[in-house]
Amino acid sequence: MNVVPPALARLIADLNRLPGIGRKTATRLALHIMRRPASEAQSLARDLAELHGAIRLCANCFAFSETDPCAICRDSERDSRLVCVVEEPADLMAIEKTGAFKGKYHILHGVLSPMDGIGPEELKVEALVERVRRQRVVEVLVATSSTVPGEATAAYLIKRLQEEGGVTVTRLACGIPMGMDIKYADELTLSRAIESRKDTRG
Amino acid sequence: MHGLFHQPLPPGQNLAVVLQVRDHGESDKIVTLYTRGLGKLASIAKGAKRSKKRFVNKLEPFSLLNVQLATSRSSSLMRLDEAELLAPYPALRQEYPQYLAATLLCELVLHWTREHDSDAELFDLLTWALSGLASGGEGRRTIAFFHIKLLEILGYRPSFDGCLDCGMLSAQKAPYRFSPLRNGLVCNSCEPAFSANSLPISMQTVQLLRKAQDLAQDKLERLRFSKGALLETLALLRRYDSHLLQRELQSWNFLC
């Protein structure tokens, strides 16, 4: 006997496919949507339906955006001679939240991962090189993660851009996180922190 | 560091190389390890994606670890409880060619071994190759040496001693071809028709491969391969992989 009506079962199965949502959470969410007014469900359905039609990739920086070029690329207040390279859109959001960066972005959409068949051609690398050449970029800040694939991707980009020439390539610093006791930092991080130490004279 | 390999470890501890790391759900990671005592195994590191303490910067590909593993009642995955970073091999992430080569080494171990089939000799070979790469060893050479020894350890040593049909190895019988199907060489007079799966191979490369098979691991560095011989060797090993594993290893695409 099937106690769950098919329409509800379908919704549970759909929600279940989302990351971090198991069957129980999916059931809870589905029942919640069921209990709320129909207009809320319709608004959710509309947002979902319009998502793929409305969002596209910015042709300049490859961020998700409703407009092309995106709001950041159009912003004349921002310095277009400074480009920050990140792995994915979520990294852009993290850097934007700090408010410390006033340049523009370039999103690679992945990292170099030979085992998964992802090489430089699968990422937006040539588009970056082309952009640096065309738009007279002065500095490229490579802000990929400090994981092994992120570092390897950074190494590749730095080499590629230096071959091209005419641009300063910088790398996001790597060191002791705020609030961490030096005693508990691993050797690699600590030695990196020492290498990238800063002159305090301002 | 190599002294460490021969000390008995406390129960539950194991020397391990990280072959592959995958995110699992919101906060966990599935880490595939090649351990010295237990062979290849998949383990789950609970909270590794979020925790700022326990696993930060340790569960990265190629790292040599001392791990504490526990079996789990509910799943075939082992639980990774603790990891001590013994060698992070920083050069393998700071140079793209070294990263490519190290990735192929790990992919080879991933596909050539079975779970829980331990082989200390293979483990030592892997750490030898990784530390060689990390100290600036040339990627293609290291891969060739590693691969030749890997096949030997696993019992898939191809024969380069002569033609499989007439047993001869001489320049008059050249050109020779390597047949992955028959696991050895065939000469031009025994099998003049070109078969789709076999690869032409020069006499110089045959001689180098024979020497590489006979030399001990620590003496391989003395062997000098010309660029042509090295490329021929890698093409042969790649063909052999795809024949015996019945799949294409992705990392090869970026190396040759």
CA distances, A17 to each of A89, B26, B29 (Å):
21, 13, 19
Of all residues in chain A, the one with the smallest CA distance to B26 is: A20
- The per-residue pLDDT for B170 is 82
Measured between beta carbons, the chain B residues lying within 8 angstroms of A112 are 96, 99
Distance of CA B83 to the CA centre of its chain: 23
> Is residue B29 over pLDDT 70?
yes
Confidence of residue B243 (pLDDT cuts 50, 70, 90): very high
Average predicted confidence (pLDDT) for chain B: 89
B49 vs A17, residue with greater confidence: A17
Measured between beta carbons, the chain A residues lying within 8 angstroms of B60 are 147-148
Contact B60, B67 (CB under 8 A): no
Provide the token pair at B70.
């526990």
Q: What is the pLDDT of residues A96-144, one digit of tens each?
A: 999 999 999 999 999 999 999 999 999 999 999 999 999 989 999 999 9
- The per-residue pLDDT for B194 is 66
Kindly give the pairing relationship between strand B28-35 and strand A139-142: unpaired
**In chain A, domain spans:** 6-54, 57-199
Of all residues in chain B, the one with the smallest CA distance to A160 is: B96
Instruction: Count chain A–chain B contacts defined by CB atoms under 8 A.
Output: 68
Whether residues B107 and A189 touch (CB distance < 8 A) is answered with no
Kindly give the pairing relationship between strand A79-86 and strand A103-107: parallel
- The per-residue pLDDT for B251 is 95
Identical topology for domains A6-54 and A57-199: no
Whole-prediction pTM: 0.87
**Interface with chain B: mutation pick from A113, A121, A148, highest number of B CBs within 10 Å:** A148
Confidence of residue A184 (pLDDT cuts 50, 70, 90): confident
- The per-residue pLDDT for B196 is 67
Contact B18, B41 (CB under 8 A): no
Q: What is the pLDDT of residues A71-88, one digit of tens each?
A: 999 999 999 999 999 999
Confidence of residue B54 (pLDDT cuts 50, 70, 90): confident
CATH annotation of A57-199: 3.40.1360.10
**Burial group, residue B246, by CB count within 10 angstroms (0-12, 13-18, 19+):** exposed
- The per-residue pLDDT for B41 is 95
- The per-residue pLDDT for A143 is 97
Average predicted confidence (pLDDT) for chain A: 92
Contact B38, B116 (CB under 8 A): yes
Domains in chain B, please, with CATH?
2-137 (2.40.50.140), 145-254 (no CATH)
Q: For residue B72, what is the enclosing H or E element? A: none
- The per-residue pLDDT for B102 is 97
> Is residue B6 over pLDDT 70?
no
**Residues above pLDDT 90, as percent of chain A:** 75
Cα–Cα distance measured from residue B187 to residue A35, given in angstroms and rounded to the nearest whole number: 78
Instruction: Please state the rounded mean pLDDT for residues B84-101.
Output: 93
**Residues above pLDDT 90, as percent of chain B:** 62
Q: What is the pLDDT of residues B95-132, one digit of tens each?
A: 999 999 999 999 999 999 999 999 999 999 999 999 99
ω into residue B175 within 30 of 0, thus cis? Answer: yes
- The per-residue pLDDT for B175 is 83
**Which residue among B85, B96, B110 places its CB closest to the CB of A186?**
B85
Q: What is the pLDDT of residues B154-200, one digit of tens each?
A: 999 999 998 888 888 888 877 888 998 888 998 888 877 767 678 88
Confidence of residue B3 (pLDDT cuts 50, 70, 90): low
| In chain B, residues 93-152 whose CB comes closer than 8 Å to chain A | 93-96, 99-100, 103-104, 106-107, 110
Mapped onto helix, strand or coil, the DSSP state of residue B90 is coil
CATH annotation of A6-54: 1.10.8.420
Instruction: Please state the rounded mean pLDDT for residues A161-187.
Output: 89
- The per-residue pLDDT for A4 is 87
Whether residues B106 and A115 touch (CB distance < 8 A) is answered with yes
Contact B114, B142 (CB under 8 A): no
Whether residues A114 and B250 touch (CB distance < 8 A) is answered with yes
Output b/e per residue, A61-99; b: 16+ Cβ within 10 A: bbbbbeeeebebbeeeebebebbbbbbbbebbeebeeee
Contact A119, B253 (CB under 8 A): yes
CA angle B12/B13/B19 to nearest 5° reads 115
CA distance A201 to chain B (A): 30
Instruction: Please state the rounded mean pLDDT for residues B223-236.
Output: 92
